[in-house]
Amino acid sequence: MSSPSENSLKIGIIGFGPFAQFLVKTMIKQGHFIRATSRSDYTDLCNQLGISFFRDMNEFFESDNDVILLCTSILSLSHVIKSLPLDCFKKPALFVDVLSVKEYPRDLMLQCFTTQGCKMMEMTCEEHDRLSSRSQFLTHTIGRVLAEMEIEPTPIDTKGFQKLIEVKESTSRDSFDLFSGLFIHNRFAKQQAWFGSTCIIWYISEFTNLMNTNNTQLRNLELAFETIKEQLVKRMNEGLDPS
Ligand SMILES: NC(=O)c1ccc[n+]([C@@H]2O[C@H](COP(=O)([O-])OP(=O)(O)OC[C@H]3O[C@@H](n4cnc5c(N)ncnc54)[C@H](OP(=O)(O)O)[C@@H]3O)[C@@H](O)[C@H]2O)c1
């Protein structure tokens, strides 16, 4: 059996019938962390396999999964999807189905997520990572830099500053694992980070020259970027799964 590694995933299985039981043996060998839920009670079997079984679907959804594997029967999928407590999601997860038909689950899932207010977009993995390095990773980085600078609302905040406070607060609620994952496993984010830090250093030195002074705020900004960079590099060098 493989020990957990940085490639180990937290996989939540919905529907623990014969096919899921077959798949799970390989996943355990590969070092993934498995938890399952099903209509029937598989607590004893899961205990034997050394994995968690949740009778309660809400608790299952709160159990922090990277991947949700739908392994129910074709005929029950519609019912199962409609009963998912999507509000209990703690973080984004990849939904995968193993059904022996493909258009049917795709249409059901698109329908379900659309009614939850999600806009579905088709794109390649490369396109996704390229775009998210410019949006998601950049937002998280700026938010963490602002947190590091300990920016707080003031009585004379501009709209722009209020938005910065919002970015700081929303990114501070996310885990450092999420932030470092966005960097470590997205090659475009690494390019973005290099470009971003080059720009910041350039701006700081230009401003410093222009003002002919060692401005405290600029110095704080530079230090905050340095701190975030060091934390990311440290996390990357550790290369370990936190679980
Ligand atoms: N068997 C294969 O070789 C194979 C290969 C590729 C893909 N698949 C696909 O894998 C999936 C699972 O297949 P399977 O072989 O394990 O047997 P299955 O009879 O197709 O599905 C059994 C699973 O569906 C659940 N289920 C059935 N009715 C339900 C309902 N009304 N509400 C909630 N859950 C319900 C069962 O839950 P409980 O056990 O808790 O009752 C069990 O987890 C299917 O979609 C199948 O097409 C199977």
Task: Quote the radius of gyration of the chain (alpha carbons, Å).
Answer: 22
Structural domain 10-115, CATH architecture: 3-Layer(aba) Sandwich (3.40)
How many Å lie between the centroid of ligand 1 and the Cα of residue 71?
Answer: 6
**Best residue among 70, 72, 80 to mutate for probing ligand 1, ranked by most atoms within 8 Å of CB:** 72
Rounded to 5°, the CA angle 18-113-80 comes to 30
For residues 44-71, average pLDDT: 93
For residues 200-204, average pLDDT: 66
Distances in Å between the Cα of 122 and the Cα atoms of 48, 125, 126 are 40, 10, 12
Q: Checking DSSP bridges between strand 52-54 and strand 67-70, what pairing results, if any?
A: unpaired
> What is the reported pLDDT for 194?
66
pLDDT in tens, 115-139: 877 777 888 989 999 998 888 888 8
- Domain residues of the chain, as ranges? 10-115, 125-238
How many Å lie between the centroid of ligand 1 and the Cα of residue 72?
Answer: 4
Token readout for 231 is 């934390």
Number of alpha helices (DSSP H) and beta strands (DSSP E) in the chain: 11, 5
Token readout for 151 is 């920016």
**Binding site membership of 40 for ligand 1 (Cβ less than 6 Å):** yes
Q: In what order do the strands lie in the sheet with 94-97?
A: 52-54, 33-37, 10-14, 67-70, 94-97
Positive or negative, the Cα torsion across 178, 180, 184, 190?
Answer: positive
**Binding site membership of 229 for ligand 1 (Cβ less than 6 Å):** no
For the full predicted model, state whether its pTM sits above 0.85. Answer: no
Nearest atom within ligand 1 for CA of residue 40 = 40
